[in-house]
Amino acid sequence: MRENFDIFQWVKEVQSKKLKMNDLVASLEKYGARVESDEDSHDMAALHYRIVFSLSEDTVVTIGIILMDYQTDSDVVIETMTTLPEHRRRIGIGSKAIAKVLQWAADHNLKDLRATQVAGEENENFWRKNVFTPQEEPNHCNDFIYRVS
């Protein structure tokens, strides 16, 4: 959590940069994603998006991301990720989607990506395999970090 943080000023900043951030996330389409603004989010202090990759004829990876998250200094927060159908999990398709997100981040000078609230050993191993590392302590949400070099 940020210290000495003015949430009211942050909300103004988020609103002033929303169009720019919408354009930035829309550029994921060049990496094979379909991008949707998460209209269900009522969060005024961050921008939520769903990015959807159809990486094979019958498999879809959906990733929920946050830009301008007020709780962290990360450029991108990955809050959800699902590969469907379930029988297509654990064969590398999710890793291919994450590789595309990491390439997009590097190409757009985004330096810090965070997978938040990672639950369970299997999920932790997924993020480690994709070169994310556990956040330094305290790590109450079990976040994993990727820093673009």
| pLDDT tens column, 76-122 | 999 999 998 888 888 889 999 999 999 999 999 999 999 999 999 99
Hey, what are 136's tokens? 């330094």
36 confidence band (pLDDT: 50, 70, 90): confident
pLDDT for 5 equals 79
Q: Are the C-beta atoms of residues 27 and 67 closer than 8 Å to each other? A: no
For 43-82, write each residue's pLDDT tens digit: 777 889 999 999 877 899 999 999 988 888 899 999 999 9
Q: Say what the pTM is.
A: 0.89
**What values do phi and psi take at 80, rounded to 5?**
-145, 155
1 confidence band (pLDDT: 50, 70, 90): low
2 confidence band (pLDDT: 50, 70, 90): low
Work out the number of other CB atoms within 10 angstroms of the CB of residue 93: 17
Q: What is the 3 state secondary structure string of the chain?
A: CCCCCCHHHHHHHHHHHHHHHHHHHHHHHHHCEEEEECCCCCCCCCEEEEEEEEEECCEEEEEEEEECCCCCCCCEEEEEEEEECHHHCCCCHHHHHHHHHHHHHHHCCCCEEEECCCCCHHHHHHHHHCCCEECCCCCCCCCEEEECC
pLDDT for 133 equals 96
7 confidence band (pLDDT: 50, 70, 90): confident
pLDDT for 10 equals 85
pLDDT for 53 equals 95
Hey, what are 55's tokens? 């990486």
